Amino acid sequence: MAKIIILVLVVLLGGFAISHFSSQPPLRGMVRQPGSSQAVLLARARPAATFALDQNMNLLTAGWCSIRPETHESLQGEARLWLALYGHAKGLLVTAVADGENNWEWMSGDHTAFPAIRRMSQNQGNRTLFETLSVLDRKHDPFCGSGQRAGQESGVCLVYRARLLLEFEQCQVIVEYHEDLPQNLVQDIAFANDYLNAFQQRARQAGHIVRLEKEESQHLVQGIEKMGTLDKAVSRTSLARWTGMMHRKGRL
Protein backbone atom coordinates (compact mmCIF):
# COMPACT_ATOMS: atom_id res chain seq x y z
CA MET A 1 0.00 0.00 0.00
CA ALA A 2 2.81 2.38 0.95
CA LYS A 3 4.52 1.72 -2.40
CA ILE A 4 1.32 2.53 -4.28
CA ILE A 5 0.93 5.82 -2.38
CA ILE A 6 4.55 6.75 -3.11
CA LEU A 7 4.08 5.89 -6.80
CA VAL A 8 0.93 8.03 -7.00
CA LEU A 9 2.74 10.94 -5.34
CA VAL A 10 5.65 10.65 -7.80
CA VAL A 11 3.26 10.68 -10.75
CA LEU A 12 1.40 13.69 -9.36
CA LEU A 13 4.60 15.62 -8.69
CA GLY A 14 5.89 14.77 -12.16
CA GLY A 15 2.67 16.00 -13.71
CA PHE A 16 2.83 19.20 -11.69
CA ALA A 17 6.44 19.85 -12.74
CA ILE A 18 5.65 19.28 -16.42
CA SER A 19 2.62 21.56 -16.22
CA HIS A 20 4.55 24.24 -14.33
CA PHE A 21 7.56 24.40 -16.62
CA SER A 22 5.58 24.07 -19.82
CA SER A 23 3.51 27.08 -18.77
CA GLN A 24 6.59 29.24 -18.13
CA PRO A 25 7.16 32.05 -20.65
CA PRO A 26 10.16 31.66 -22.98
CA LEU A 27 13.56 32.71 -21.66
CA ARG A 28 14.14 35.03 -24.62
CA GLY A 29 11.59 36.51 -27.00
CA MET A 30 9.93 39.59 -28.45
CA VAL A 31 7.63 41.96 -26.56
CA ARG A 32 5.82 45.21 -27.23
CA GLN A 33 6.54 47.85 -24.63
CA PRO A 34 3.64 49.91 -23.24
CA GLY A 35 2.99 52.99 -25.35
CA SER A 36 5.03 51.69 -28.29
CA SER A 37 4.12 49.71 -31.40
CA GLN A 38 7.67 48.38 -31.80
CA ALA A 39 8.55 44.78 -30.99
CA VAL A 40 11.84 44.45 -29.10
CA LEU A 41 13.92 41.63 -27.65
CA LEU A 42 13.46 40.78 -23.99
CA ALA A 43 15.86 38.59 -21.99
CA ARG A 44 14.64 37.06 -18.74
CA ALA A 45 18.00 37.33 -17.00
CA ARG A 46 19.29 38.68 -13.68
CA PRO A 47 18.48 41.52 -14.15
CA ALA A 48 16.10 41.31 -17.09
CA ALA A 49 17.15 43.36 -20.10
CA THR A 50 15.50 44.80 -23.19
CA PHE A 51 16.10 47.64 -25.67
CA ALA A 52 14.76 51.16 -26.20
CA LEU A 53 14.65 52.15 -29.87
CA ASP A 54 14.22 55.32 -31.87
CA GLN A 55 10.65 55.41 -33.16
CA ASN A 56 11.91 55.67 -36.76
CA MET A 57 13.50 52.23 -36.56
CA ASN A 58 11.55 49.56 -38.45
CA LEU A 59 11.86 45.85 -37.71
CA LEU A 60 13.51 43.99 -40.62
CA THR A 61 13.94 40.46 -39.28
CA ALA A 62 14.23 38.53 -36.02
CA GLY A 63 15.01 34.98 -34.93
CA TRP A 64 17.36 32.70 -33.03
CA CYS A 65 20.11 30.29 -34.00
CA SER A 66 22.90 28.18 -32.52
CA ILE A 67 26.49 29.34 -33.10
CA ARG A 68 30.02 28.09 -32.38
CA PRO A 69 32.18 31.10 -31.39
CA GLU A 70 35.97 31.05 -31.34
CA THR A 71 37.95 30.24 -28.17
CA HIS A 72 41.61 30.00 -27.10
CA GLU A 73 41.17 26.24 -26.79
CA SER A 74 41.14 23.48 -29.41
CA LEU A 75 37.34 23.34 -29.23
CA GLN A 76 34.81 25.87 -30.45
CA GLY A 77 32.41 27.39 -27.97
CA GLU A 78 28.66 26.74 -27.82
CA ALA A 79 26.05 29.48 -27.68
CA ARG A 80 22.53 30.39 -28.67
CA LEU A 81 21.84 33.79 -30.22
CA TRP A 82 18.59 35.76 -30.36
CA LEU A 83 18.71 38.58 -32.90
CA ALA A 84 16.47 41.43 -34.07
CA LEU A 85 17.47 43.83 -36.88
CA TYR A 86 15.99 47.28 -37.52
CA GLY A 87 16.63 49.94 -40.13
CA HIS A 88 15.86 53.48 -41.21
CA ALA A 89 17.06 55.72 -44.05
CA LYS A 90 20.45 56.35 -42.47
CA GLY A 91 21.56 53.11 -40.85
CA LEU A 92 20.98 49.65 -39.41
CA LEU A 93 20.46 48.69 -35.77
CA VAL A 94 21.27 45.20 -34.45
CA THR A 95 19.99 44.01 -31.06
CA ALA A 96 21.07 40.66 -29.67
CA VAL A 97 21.11 38.39 -26.64
CA ALA A 98 23.66 35.56 -26.64
CA ASP A 99 23.75 32.75 -24.06
CA GLY A 100 26.71 30.46 -23.49
CA GLU A 101 25.84 26.77 -23.21
CA ASN A 102 27.50 23.72 -21.60
CA ASN A 103 29.82 25.73 -19.31
CA TRP A 104 30.92 28.14 -22.05
CA GLU A 105 30.78 31.82 -21.16
CA TRP A 106 31.86 35.11 -22.75
CA MET A 107 35.20 36.83 -22.47
CA SER A 108 35.45 39.85 -20.19
CA GLY A 109 33.49 42.97 -21.05
CA ASP A 110 36.46 44.91 -22.42
CA HIS A 111 37.26 42.16 -24.94
CA THR A 112 36.12 43.32 -28.39
CA ALA A 113 34.95 41.15 -31.25
CA PHE A 114 36.77 43.42 -33.73
CA PRO A 115 39.62 45.98 -33.47
CA ALA A 116 38.27 49.31 -32.19
CA ILE A 117 39.27 52.87 -33.05
CA ARG A 118 37.58 54.16 -29.90
CA ARG A 119 36.83 52.42 -26.59
CA MET A 120 34.58 53.71 -23.82
CA SER A 121 32.96 52.38 -20.67
CA GLN A 122 30.11 53.51 -18.44
CA ASN A 123 29.53 52.36 -14.88
CA GLN A 124 25.88 51.45 -14.37
CA GLY A 125 25.42 50.49 -10.75
CA ASN A 126 27.24 47.21 -10.18
CA ARG A 127 27.78 46.59 -13.90
CA THR A 128 29.81 48.17 -16.68
CA LEU A 129 28.57 48.97 -20.18
CA PHE A 130 31.41 48.64 -22.71
CA GLU A 131 31.23 50.71 -25.91
CA THR A 132 33.39 50.68 -29.02
CA LEU A 133 33.58 52.33 -32.44
CA SER A 134 34.99 50.20 -35.26
CA VAL A 135 35.51 50.37 -39.01
CA LEU A 136 34.52 47.11 -40.71
CA ASP A 137 34.15 45.87 -44.27
CA ARG A 138 31.72 43.34 -45.68
CA LYS A 139 34.20 40.48 -45.32
CA HIS A 140 34.23 40.83 -41.53
CA ASP A 141 30.84 42.34 -40.72
CA PRO A 142 27.70 40.27 -41.44
CA PHE A 143 25.58 43.44 -41.39
CA CYS A 144 27.66 45.92 -43.39
CA GLY A 145 25.83 46.98 -46.52
CA SER A 146 22.32 46.54 -45.08
CA GLY A 147 21.78 50.22 -44.28
CA GLN A 148 23.67 52.13 -46.93
CA ARG A 149 22.99 55.66 -48.05
CA ALA A 150 22.31 56.06 -51.76
CA GLY A 151 25.29 57.20 -53.81
CA GLN A 152 27.83 56.82 -50.98
CA GLU A 153 28.61 53.12 -51.07
CA SER A 154 32.16 52.28 -50.03
CA GLY A 155 31.80 48.71 -48.81
CA VAL A 156 32.96 49.92 -45.38
CA CYS A 157 30.82 50.56 -42.29
CA LEU A 158 31.31 52.65 -39.19
CA VAL A 159 29.98 50.59 -36.28
CA TYR A 160 29.02 51.50 -32.73
CA ARG A 161 28.65 48.62 -30.26
CA ALA A 162 27.48 48.60 -26.65
CA ARG A 163 27.88 45.36 -24.70
CA LEU A 164 26.65 44.29 -21.27
CA LEU A 165 27.42 40.98 -19.52
CA LEU A 166 24.83 39.34 -17.26
CA GLU A 167 24.34 36.00 -15.49
CA PHE A 168 28.01 35.82 -14.40
CA GLU A 169 29.18 36.34 -18.02
CA GLN A 170 27.03 33.50 -19.39
CA CYS A 171 24.73 36.03 -21.08
CA GLN A 172 25.75 39.02 -23.14
CA VAL A 173 23.44 41.73 -24.45
CA ILE A 174 24.53 43.71 -27.52
CA VAL A 175 23.21 46.74 -29.35
CA GLU A 176 25.06 47.77 -32.50
CA TYR A 177 24.47 50.60 -34.97
CA HIS A 178 25.88 50.62 -38.53
CA GLU A 179 26.22 53.33 -41.14
CA ASP A 180 27.90 53.07 -44.51
CA LEU A 181 31.04 55.20 -44.44
CA PRO A 182 31.53 57.70 -47.31
CA GLN A 183 34.53 56.84 -49.46
CA ASN A 184 36.29 60.14 -48.77
CA LEU A 185 36.32 59.41 -45.03
CA VAL A 186 37.48 55.79 -45.05
CA GLN A 187 41.22 56.45 -44.87
CA ASP A 188 41.26 59.12 -42.13
CA ILE A 189 38.11 58.33 -40.12
CA ALA A 190 40.10 57.60 -36.93
CA PHE A 191 41.16 61.28 -36.87
CA ALA A 192 37.75 62.75 -37.76
CA ASN A 193 36.66 63.45 -34.19
CA ASP A 194 33.69 65.66 -35.07
CA TYR A 195 32.28 63.01 -37.40
CA LEU A 196 32.85 60.25 -34.83
CA ASN A 197 31.20 62.26 -32.05
CA ALA A 198 28.14 62.96 -34.20
CA PHE A 199 27.94 59.31 -35.27
CA GLN A 200 28.21 58.14 -31.67
CA GLN A 201 25.34 60.43 -30.70
CA ARG A 202 23.19 59.10 -33.56
CA ALA A 203 24.01 55.54 -32.54
CA ARG A 204 23.00 56.01 -28.91
CA GLN A 205 19.79 57.66 -30.04
CA ALA A 206 19.00 54.79 -32.45
CA GLY A 207 18.92 52.21 -29.65
CA HIS A 208 20.28 51.36 -26.22
CA ILE A 209 20.14 48.58 -23.65
CA VAL A 210 17.64 48.89 -20.81
CA ARG A 211 17.92 46.91 -17.58
CA LEU A 212 14.55 46.30 -15.95
CA GLU A 213 13.43 46.33 -12.35
CA LYS A 214 11.81 43.10 -11.17
CA GLU A 215 8.21 44.40 -11.21
CA GLU A 216 8.60 45.97 -14.65
CA SER A 217 10.14 42.81 -16.12
CA GLN A 218 7.39 40.61 -14.67
CA HIS A 219 4.81 42.81 -16.37
CA LEU A 220 6.56 42.69 -19.75
CA VAL A 221 7.16 38.93 -19.58
CA GLN A 222 3.40 38.36 -19.71
CA GLY A 223 3.44 39.43 -23.36
CA ILE A 224 6.66 37.71 -24.47
CA GLU A 225 6.43 35.78 -27.75
CA LYS A 226 8.63 32.85 -28.72
CA MET A 227 10.89 33.56 -31.70
CA GLY A 228 11.34 31.43 -34.79
CA THR A 229 14.61 30.35 -36.39
CA LEU A 230 16.72 33.10 -37.93
CA ASP A 231 16.83 33.27 -41.72
CA LYS A 232 19.56 30.92 -42.98
CA ALA A 233 20.75 33.60 -45.39
CA VAL A 234 22.53 35.17 -42.40
CA SER A 235 25.83 33.29 -42.07
CA ARG A 236 26.17 31.40 -38.78
CA THR A 237 29.95 31.49 -39.16
CA SER A 238 29.92 35.28 -39.47
CA LEU A 239 27.56 35.58 -36.52
CA ALA A 240 29.84 33.39 -34.39
CA ARG A 241 32.73 35.75 -35.03
CA TRP A 242 30.51 38.79 -34.56
CA THR A 243 29.43 37.77 -31.05
CA GLY A 244 33.03 37.49 -29.79
CA MET A 245 35.18 34.86 -28.06
CA MET A 246 34.24 32.41 -25.32
CA HIS A 247 36.05 30.50 -22.58
CA ARG A 248 35.26 27.59 -20.32
CA LYS A 249 33.66 28.52 -17.02
CA GLY A 250 36.43 29.13 -14.51
CA ARG A 251 39.14 29.15 -17.20
CA LEU A 252 40.55 32.11 -19.14
- Residues 117-140 pLDDT 10s: 999 998 877 889 999 999 998 888
Q: pTM for the whole thing? A: 0.86
- State how far Cα 177 lies from the chain centre: 12
How far apart are the C-alpha atoms of 19 and 41, rounded to whole Å? 26
Contacts of 66 (CB under 8 A, 6+ apart): 78, 79, 80, 81, 236
Contacts of 156 (CB under 8 A, 6+ apart): 135, 136, 137, 144, 180, 181, 186
How far apart are the C-alpha atoms of 41 and 236, rounded to whole Å? 19
> Would you say residue 13 has pLDDT above 80?
no
According to the model, what pLDDT value does residue 101 have?
A: 96
Instruction: Confirm if 81 and 239 have CB atoms less than 8 A apart.
Output: yes
Helix (H, G, I), strand (E, B) or coil at 184: helix
Mean pLDDT of the chain, nearest integer: 87
How much of the chain, in percent, has pLDDT values that exceed 70? 86
At 180, is the pLDDT very low, low, confident or very high (cuts 50, 70, 90)?
A: very high
Express each pLDDT in 35-94 by its tens digit.
Answer: 777 899 999 988 899 999 999 999 999 999 999 999 999 999 999 999 999 999 889 999
At 7, is the pLDDT very low, low, confident or very high (cuts 50, 70, 90)?
A: low
According to the model, what pLDDT value does residue 119 have?
A: 95
